């Protein structure tokens, strides 16, 4: 389930292929606003089979969401440590953030005082 970002929050860079800005905050159009929070966040000690089934159901809601990319970018920018956001689990977001960090480090210019 989506929790609205603080009023002062604004995206650093809009998501690529994002649709035209909605009249209100992006999360006001999220498909998950009509679903139970339990679908998107794990209860404590949830058995693996139940977790996988719940995450699959949450991702199905995300797949039809008009603001999937905005939600995903929000979860990656924050970073959101729990739940399914933008069609990704917390573990999938950690992998994506690691890839971004490695890509950004590879693209960064060499540091001036660094000895090779």
pLDDT at residue number 69? 95
CA atoms of 47 and 54, how far apart (whole Å): 11
CA atoms of 96 and 89, how far apart (whole Å): 11
55 marked as binding residue = no
31 marked as binding residue = no
62 marked as binding residue = yes
Model confidence over 79-110: pLDDT tens digits?
889 999 999 999 999 999 999 999 989 888 87
Strand partners, 88: 85
pTM reported for the whole predicted model = 0.69
Model confidence over 55-71: pLDDT tens digits?
999 999 999 999 999 99
Model confidence over 8-40: pLDDT tens digits?
333 333 333 344 444 568 888 999 988 788 899
3-state secondary structure string, the chain? CCCCCCCCCCCCCCCCCCCCCCCCCHHHHCHHHHCCHHHCCCCCCCCHHHHHHHHHHHHHHHHCCCCHHHHHHHHHHCCCCCCCECCECHHHHHHHHHHHHHHHHHHCCCCCCCCC
């Amino acid at each position: 389930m989506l929790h609205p970002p603080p009023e002062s929050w604004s995206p650093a860079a809009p998501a690529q292929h994002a649709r035209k800005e909605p009249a209100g905050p992006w999360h006001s159009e999220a498909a998950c606003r009509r679903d139970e929070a339990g679908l998107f966040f794990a209860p404590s000690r949830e058995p693996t089979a139940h977790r996988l089934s719940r995450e699959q159901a949450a991702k199905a809601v995300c797949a039809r969401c008009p603001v999937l990319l905005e939600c995903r970018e929000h979860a990656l920018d924050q970073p959101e440590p729990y739940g399914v956001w933008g069609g990704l689990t917390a573990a999938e977001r950690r992998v994506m953030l690691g890839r971004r960090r490695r890509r950004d480090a590879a693209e960064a210019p060499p540091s001036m005082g660094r000895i090779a």
